[in-house]
């Protein structure tokens, strides 16, 4: 029953990360390491994935002498899946700050109680930046991820020369690429820290000054993120298929990150609530998060379909090669994932979250948010693997690396959650959030 007066007083609440929880995170990492080791051994013995030579031959038809062989299959798979997981997890981390910033700019009150969860999500940004530079640095010399990093590919007369890629040398060159990577992630991390500092200072001192400052910082960040995130998507994902291009791609990757970030915030909120924290978070907040996930699952599908239909209808060879590879290429290696991607990321959330009751039940929301996270991890898999691994992809190493990332991500996230009160006690809209009903 909603009333316009309030009796309860909201007090600070601190998360205690128990040794048991830490041990669970360690177990996730250990499980990942074990899977990774098994995967590497399997790959060395030549089981679990199609052999690399066949894949290279299939691709070689297009490039002839320019084809390169790269590292041993297991090493290549390891490097590629480090890249894949880091792009996914770093994107999800950035969404934490994007979410907070959007709530500030929109003067939203309902989300105040889950603000700290979104803030904590961004703890991965700095490690994400470091891992990204390291993995890119390695791949620059092994040429395992980006075809355009081959030496001489942009020099006329070189055996590796590729006219189309040479035409992109103004954008895809080492100094500019690294500069973009560092500047984008650096800016995202800077604004994350700035918003977090303002938020913590507000906890200590109160007053509305921090709120107004946060709005300015958020607005600036959103403009910067809107420009940098599509460019990051071209750099980190689209430039793998160097010949191919799509004007929808920036939005497509953003939509994927955004809906996974929302699912991560929802899942974390539910897990905290089930552990006895966040007592003020009610069905109404869950309902709004559910609407967000429902709506942006549809948004992702909309962008996906806009990209697909134009390419399918125009049927230009240089564009449709991307979907040829994924729909039936490499002996139909990716076909099941291609359709599974639509099922898990569109049909499932759409049908399950359709009703109001489903959005207000923790169990339903938990199932859907896990499905969305798995689904969009697979979406990135589908965007990255055909261009790098060709037919030589697999799952054991990839899931192993994903588990290591997950464990590390959760450790950092819970650390940051435990650093401050779960309730931003002096946020001007706190009362509105406590009394939020939908």
Partner 1 sequence: MTKRFALGIFDDEDVLLHAVENVREAGVKIYEVFTPFPIHGMDDALGIERSRLPIAAFFFGLTGLCFALWLQIYTLGFDWPMIIGGKPHIALPAFIPVSFELTVLFCCHGMVITFYTISKLYPRWKTPVLDVRSTDDKFVVAIEVNENTDMTKLTQLLRDNGASEVNQKEMSKF
Applying CB under 8 A, the residues found at the interface with partner 1 are: 1-5, 305, 308-309, 312-315, 356, 437
> Cα(275)–Cα(269) distance, rounded to whole angstroms?
10
Output the smallest distance, CB 423 to partner 1, in A: 22
Output the smallest distance, CB 309 to partner 1, in A: 6
Residue with smaller CB distance to partner 1, 134 or 316: 316
Residue with smaller CB distance to partner 1, 24 or 355: 355
Output the smallest distance, CB 380 to partner 1, in A: 23
Residues 6 or more apart from 252 whose CB is under 8 A from it? 233, 246, 300, 303, 304, 307
Residue with smaller CB distance to partner 1, 54 or 340: 340
Nearest to 117 by CA among 262, 12, 219: 262
Output the smallest distance, CB 436 to partner 1, in A: 10
Output the smallest distance, CB 262 to partner 1, in A: 23
User: 16, exposed or middle or buried, with CB in 10 Å at 0-12, 13-18, 19+?
Assistant: exposed
Report how far apart the first and last C-alpha atoms of the chain are (Å, whole number): 11
User: What 3-state DSSP class applies to 428?
Assistant: coil
Output the smallest distance, CB 297 to partner 1, in A: 15
Please name the residue that has the structure tokens 């589908």.
Answer: 382
Output the smallest distance, CB 121 to partner 1, in A: 31
Residue with smaller CB distance to partner 1, 236 or 252: 252
Residue with smaller CB distance to partner 1, 81 or 345: 345
> Cα(139)–Cα(153) distance, rounded to whole angstroms?
15
Residue with smaller CB distance to partner 1, 234 or 323: 323
Do the Cβ atoms of 241 and 326 come closer than 8 Å?
A: no
Residue with smaller CB distance to partner 1, 4 or 45: 4
Please name the residue that has the structure tokens 């509105």.
Answer: 432
User: What 3-state DSSP class applies to 14?
Assistant: strand
CB atoms within 10 A of CB 30: 14
Do the Cβ atoms of 41 and 72 come closer than 8 Å?
A: no
């Amino acid at each position: 029953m909603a009333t316009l007066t309030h009796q309860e007083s909201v007090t600070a609440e601190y998360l205690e990360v128990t040794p048991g929880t830490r041990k669970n995170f360690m177990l996730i990492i250990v499980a990942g390491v074990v899977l990774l080791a098994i995967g590497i051994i399997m790959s060395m013995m030549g089981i679990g994935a199609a052999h690399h030579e066949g894949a290279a031959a299939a691709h070689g038809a297009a490039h002839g002498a320019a084809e390169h062989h790269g590292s041993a299959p297991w090493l290549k798979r390891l490097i590629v899946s480090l890249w894949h997981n880091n792009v996914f997890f770093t994107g999800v981390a950035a969404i934490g700050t994007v979410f907070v910033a959007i709530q500030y700019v929109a003067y939203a009150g309902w989300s105040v109680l889950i603000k700290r969860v979104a803030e904590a999500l961004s703890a991965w940004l700095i490690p994400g930046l470091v891992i990204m530079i390291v993995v890119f640095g390695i791949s620059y010399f092994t040429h395992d991820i980006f075809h355009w990093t081959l030496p001489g590919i942009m020099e006329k007369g070189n055996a590796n020369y590729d006219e189309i890629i040479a035409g992109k040398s103004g954008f895809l060159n080492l100094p500019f690429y690294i500069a973009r990577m560092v500047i984008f992630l650096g800016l995202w991390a800077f604004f994350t820290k700035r918003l977090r500092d303002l938020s913590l200072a507000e906890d200590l001192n109160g007053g509305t000054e921090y709120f107004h400052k946060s709005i300015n910082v958020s607005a600036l960040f959103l403009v910067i993120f809107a420009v940098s995130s599509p460019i990051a998507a071209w750099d980190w994902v689209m430039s793998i298929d160097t010949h191919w291009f799509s004007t929808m791609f920036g939005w497509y990757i953003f939509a994927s990150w955004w809906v996974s970030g929302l699912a991560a915030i929802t899942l974390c909120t539910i897990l905290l609530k089930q552990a006895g924290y966040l007592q003020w978070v009610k069905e109404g907040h869950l309902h709004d998060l559910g609407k967000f996930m429902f709506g942006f699952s549809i948004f992702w599908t909309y962008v996906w379909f806009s990209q697909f239909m134009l390419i399918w209808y125009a049927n230009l060879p240089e564009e449709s090669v991307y979907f040829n590879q994924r729909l039936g290429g490499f002996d139909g290696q990716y076909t099941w994932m291609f359709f599974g991607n639509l099922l898990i990321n569109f049909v499932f959330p759409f049908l399950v979250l359709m009703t109001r009751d489903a959005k207000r039940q923790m169990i339903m929301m938990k199932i859907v948010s896990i499905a969305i996270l798995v689904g969009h991890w697979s979406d990135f898999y589908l965007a990255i693997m055909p261009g790098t691994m060709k037919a030589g992809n697999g799952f054991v190493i990839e899931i192993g690396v994903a588990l290591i990332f997950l464990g590390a991500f959760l450790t950092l996230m819970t650390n940051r959650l435990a650093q401050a009160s779960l309730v931003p006690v002096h946020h001007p809209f706190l009362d509105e959030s406590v009394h939020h009903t939908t």
